[in-house]
Structure 1
Amino acid sequence: MFIDDTIAAIATAPGEAGVGIIRISGNDAIEIANGIFKSKSGKKLKEADIRRLVYGHIVDPKTQEVIDEVLVVYMRAPYTYTREDIVEVNCHGGIIPVKRILQLILRMGARMAEAGEFTKRAFLNGRIDLAQAEAVMDLISAKTDTGFGVALDQLEGSLSKEVEGIRNEILQLLAHIEVSIDFSEEDVDEVTLDYLLEGSKAVKEKMIKLHETAETGKILREGLNTVIIGKPNVGKSSLLNALLKESRAIVTEIPGTTRDIIEEQLNIKGIPIRLVDTAGIRDTDDIVEKIGVDKSKEFFNKADLVIFMLDSSRELTQEDIEIMEMIKIKKAIVLVNKTDLPQILDLSKVYDILGEKNVIKISLMEKTGLSELEDTLVDMVYKGDIKTKDHIMVTNIRHKNALERAIISLEEGIEAINKKLAMDFIEVDFKNTWDYLGEITGDTVGEDLIDHIFANFCIGK
């Protein structure tokens, strides 16, 4: 890829809309736009005021056919998204006008932008770092206000500043190590080792604190994958309907009504939830229902959170006990439904098997207990100690993995200090820590990884 060529793409979503936008970026952006745009005033676009919309028409220079009535804006480098000259054509939204204008721009010498190439150029030209670039897609795909806020903070550089602050502390420790190596003929005194040990432990604490936000951050970014399980007719589909506040799933008194997986997205107090209603888990000779049960178990294995439902008006069965044995190792909430009926279920047996799992009594018939369920879910996600409004969060699995490698490397450095190994060994561990953290912001990543990251972006962004 040549950074000095000119690219173009449709920047708005496909389909019918009030406005469609085609973006051009690169050295020839203004010349290409001048070749196809005729302003109402007759002035060339590059003669117009910078960053001001100019009214006119897109005209095919070969046939003089008017393609569309448009508003065009010219933004001069380096004060643009890519730090290159940018022209954006605002035309009528719809498949035909944006497609024809893009084809005309490509014919005039631009090439089609690759996925994420505008943001990639912003990164390569130094306007944003890699963590900020990845936050762009998080911003676009955010499903809740909370997730949007976290992504916006990262786009503004909150995570990058935290990581760079930690890297600077490591750099200071590396400077002391290098001084000690330069004067290797003298014995390294205890003061230097104590300084390195104290400094590295402080850095490690900061990295661990940042790493602890990763689980919550992943949920805010991707959604909490939640599966509702239980034996047939305990109220799983009724719970789905109650949380969605609509009749999404069929509810009857006939066991085994739900035979396929029903998946929905919802927002509970700022947390994006991917909620899956499954077929009741039981032994059955019905081939179709058996497939549904197998699917239920498959979704259970992938779930971040399990909502296990019991019927308080019935005694525990072997099926209930088998499911409880399954969820022992999972994060789970136990809902004891149908509390409006006489209670027969012995809850002490549930506690004996599941121990400290959250148990909530609800009645979907009387719509009680749902607010407690929502509060419990929120508490489990945030663990009571993470506040997204004033806390920097790790939301990206790549960042999490880089942090984990950095922590392990620093721990090895601390061990080397405690063993009073040669400074050369300690330096390697500290340098590796510095490099791993640099992967988050893009300072120490290779071209292949950069290409892979931006390949997941949408074209036009």
Structure 2
Amino acid sequence: MIDDTITAIATAPGEAGISIIRISGSNAINILDSIFRSKKGISIKEFPQRKMVYGHIFDREKDKVLDEVLVVYMKTPYTYTKEDVVEINCHGGIVPTRNILELILRSGARMADPGEFTKRAFLNGRIDLAQAEAVMDLISAKTDKGFDVALNQLEGTLSKKVKEVRGAIIETLAHIHVSIDYTEEDIQEITYPELLSNSEAIKENLEGLLKTSETGKIIREGLNTVIIGKPNVGKSSLLNALLRESRAIVTDIPGTTRDVIEENLSVKGIPLKIVDTAGIRETEDIVEKIGVERSKEFFNKADLIILVLDASEELTKEDKEILELIEKRKAIIILNKTDLPIKIGEDELQELLKEKKIIRSSITQEKGLTEIEDEIVKMVYGGQVKSASSYFVTNVRHKASLENALRSINEGIDAIKQNLPFDLLEVDIKDCYDALGEITGDTVDDNIIDKIFANFCLGK
């Protein structure tokens, strides 16, 4: 039972139209009643809940009005935290917000820890742990798609799927218990073939969830993308075209980009952390050489490589060296400047690239950009999941729990195939059940819970 009352500023600090101060706990309404004076002089307890009430925050000790406000109170259990909750809408700005917060603290509340409102929602059973983590994903979403995925998770789509799998596991465990504990009763025992079928169905569900994790991580954190190529092939023009603005300097002089340029953008709902690199070539220029080395560092960390080649020139030694670098990497090849006479050997290029996609473009004439964006989307979703999927595994912690669950069910399947005793099978299947419980918070350690909510912003 949580019996203290917490408070925090729920809006961003600084000058704004309003600031919102949130109070939650058993003493929230009493605190508000002690510091608030309605315009009509009626106690806040006499006003209907969930309706804005106009009045003033009054400091009795100083006999002073602190601000003109609108307040609303909501009674348990129909609130965000499932506790009594009060929200004070005061004028935005550091001074009024600080003064009201200090008065609330003097009146019996304590300052909330980061994420404590959402933590209370979890501890009080309003949401599970996966839904709680989705709250921060909503706040930090970089694209509409990222927001939609987080909102679906907050509404419980991922949790529902996990609970469905856990339900199948608990049903299997129940059959195993019956077979172990009631061997002398006239009860039909589950057979090894039935156990194998049930376990393989559980495995298939887990693998389906894990297939969404790579895409989910990209949707949540962004796809680290690097544009590479030798100088003057159109890398900066491509960056500007994707951004729809002139971010990078473009000239006919090779080596114009002498350092990396980093930008964030969205390609059809997919967040990209994209880097335009200095042209990779041998150079005696000290500054350009540093830029080339930095380009190689970003290349090594990238999730996706976009290699730009000049179609109006034959493949050079530098081009072939770069092609070797991307041989085993996820990459898109852009054959740029196709508005000029084509001199590059496309057959030779395709042989070097094997299965990699080649897109013909003329960035300066805005040709090929749609195909480039479509290919990025195709590579992200990889044919494994659809962009309209209602859930994705976006959280590294969730992915680790799924991997542990899959490992346990695989060990259980191996044991079933060896016809090992039921009590040994039960251990692996129970481990699978517990690993999935870490996602929703049913079996997670308190220290992990504290660590998760410590990453939340104050007031949420």
TM-score norm. by structure 2 comes to 0.96
Letter in 2 for 1:387: K
Secondary structure, in 3 states, of the residue corresponding to 1:365? helix
The 5-angstrom pairing of residues 203-282 of structure 1 reads 203-282=202-281
Letter in 2 for 1:60: D
Secondary structure, in 3 states, of the residue corresponding to 2:236? helix
Shift of residue 47, structure 1, vs aligned partner: 2.1
Counterparts in 2 of 1:388 and 1:340: CA distance versus 1, 3 Å:
closer
Shift of residue 385, structure 1, vs aligned partner: 4.8
Separation in 1, partners of 2:252, 2:98 = 53
Match of 1:378 in 2: 377
Tell me if the contact between 2:212 and 2:384 (Cα under 8 Å) persists in the aligned partners: no
Tell me if the contact between 2:179 and 2:190 (Cα under 8 Å) persists in the aligned partners: no
Match of 1:103 in 2: 102
Separation in 1, partners of 2:349, 2:96 = 63
Please say if 1:337 is aligned against 2:333.
no
Please say if 1:66 is aligned against 2:65.
yes
Secondary structure, in 3 states, of the residue corresponding to 1:173? helix
Separation in 1, partners of 2:390, 2:69 = 44
Separation in 2, partners of 1:391, 1:45 = 42
Match of 1:154 in 2: 153
Separation in 2, partners of 1:292, 1:372 = 29
The more displaced of 196-205 and 101-110 is 101-110
Tell me if the contact between 1:53 and 1:73 (Cα under 8 Å) persists in the aligned partners: yes
Q: Per-residue displacement from partner, 1:51-89 (whole Å, max 9, x unpaired)?
A: 111101112221122221100001111111001111100
Please say if 1:165 is aligned against 2:164.
yes
Please say if 1:38 is aligned against 2:37.
yes
Secondary structure, in 3 states, of the residue corresponding to 2:363? coil
Separation in 1, partners of 2:184, 2:323 = 65
Separation in 1, partners of 2:98, 2:61 = 18
Q: Per-residue displacement from partner, 1:86-124 (whole Å, max 9, x unpaired)?
A: 110001122222222112212222111111110001000
The more displaced of 148-157 and 259-268 is 259-268
Question: Which runs of no fewer than 5 residues in structure 2 stay unpaired?
Answer: none
Match of 2:20 in 1: 21
Letter in 1 for 2:445: G
The 5-angstrom pairing of residues 51-200 of structure 1 reads 51-183=50-182, 192-200=191-199
Identity, in percent, stands at 64
Match of 2:2 in 1: 3
Count of aligned pairs between the two proteins = 459
Separation in 2, partners of 1:140, 1:8 = 20
Separation in 2, partners of 1:290, 1:65 = 66
The more displaced of 278-287 and 127-136 is 278-287
Match of 2:432 in 1: 433
Separation in 2, partners of 1:290, 1:388 = 41
Tell me if the contact between 1:261 and 1:279 (Cα under 8 Å) persists in the aligned partners: yes
The 5-angstrom pairing of residues 290-369 of structure 1 reads 290-369=289-368
Separation in 2, partners of 1:426, 1:191 = 13
Separation in 2, partners of 1:65, 1:291 = 62
Tell me if the contact between 1:333 and 1:358 (Cα under 8 Å) persists in the aligned partners: yes
Tell me if the contact between 2:35 and 2:58 (Cα under 8 Å) persists in the aligned partners: yes
Secondary structure, in 3 states, of the residue corresponding to 1:51? coil
Separation in 1, partners of 2:177, 2:190 = 15
Separation in 2, partners of 1:305, 1:191 = 48
Tell me if the contact between 1:340 and 1:365 (Cα under 8 Å) persists in the aligned partners: no
Letter in 2 for 1:33: L
Secondary structure, in 3 states, of the residue corresponding to 2:412? helix
TM-score norm. by structure 1 comes to 0.96
Separation in 1, partners of 2:156, 2:19 = 30
Tell me if the contact between 2:179 and 2:189 (Cα under 8 Å) persists in the aligned partners: no
Separation in 2, partners of 1:260, 1:184 = 73
Secondary structure, in 3 states, of the residue corresponding to 1:215? helix
**Over the residues paired in the alignment, what is the CA RMSD in angstroms?**
1.8
Shift of residue 4, structure 1, vs aligned partner: 1.8
Tell me if the contact between 1:150 and 1:388 (Cα under 8 Å) persists in the aligned partners: no
Letter in 2 for 1:332: A
Match of 2:408 in 1: 409
Shift of residue 241, structure 1, vs aligned partner: 0.6
